[in-house]
């Protein structure tokens, strides 16, 4: 998948207060199952901290875009493949977008 083909993040999502925790990421429009939502952007992480997404034990990014406000759910509607976030199912407008932080030592903090 060519990342240049992704829609601009602001056309797909917005950040607002969440009933899950603090701020959250919400769908601006309907997002189809399997549709790429966006890429988790930021510099390479050197240690754990707020808004770090680890894709392996040694590779992670410190979030700098709106996806850093994603909240956890054991029944998520989205998932990462590397740093790219995809819809696991259809996501309705104004629905909060969540993913499972996982139980491993390299998690989203």
CATH number, domain with residue 39: 2.170.270.10
pTM over 0.85: no
Residue 13 sits at the vertex; the CA angle it makes with 95 and 43, to the nearest 5 degrees, is 125
Residue 106 falls inside a structural domain: no
Any domain includes 81: yes
pLDDT tens for 69-82 read 999 999 999 999 99
60 inside domain: yes
Domain count, the chain: 1
Could you read off the pLDDT of 17-72 as tens digits, one per residue? Answer: 999 989 999 999 999 999 999 998 888 888 887 788 888 888 888 888 899 999 99
Where in the sequence is the domain holding 7, given as residue range(s)?
3-99
Residue 57 in domain: yes
Under 8 Å between Cβ of 4 and 52: no
- Residue 41 domain-assigned (yes or no): yes
């Amino acid at each position: 998948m060519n990342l240049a083909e992704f829609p601009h993040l602001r056309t797909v999502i917005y950040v607002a207060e969440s009933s899950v925790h603090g701020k959250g990421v919400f769908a601006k429009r309907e997002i189809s199952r399997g549709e790429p939502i966006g890429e988790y952007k930021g510099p390479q992480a050197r240690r754990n901290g707020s808004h770090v997404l680890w894709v392996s034990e040694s590779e992670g990014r410190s979030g700098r875009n709106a996806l850093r406000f994603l909240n956890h759910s054991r029944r998520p509607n989205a998932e990462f493949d590397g740093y790219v976030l995809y819809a696991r199912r259809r996501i309705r407008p104004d629905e909060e977008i969540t993913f499972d932080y996982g139980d491993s030592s390299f998690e989203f903090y």
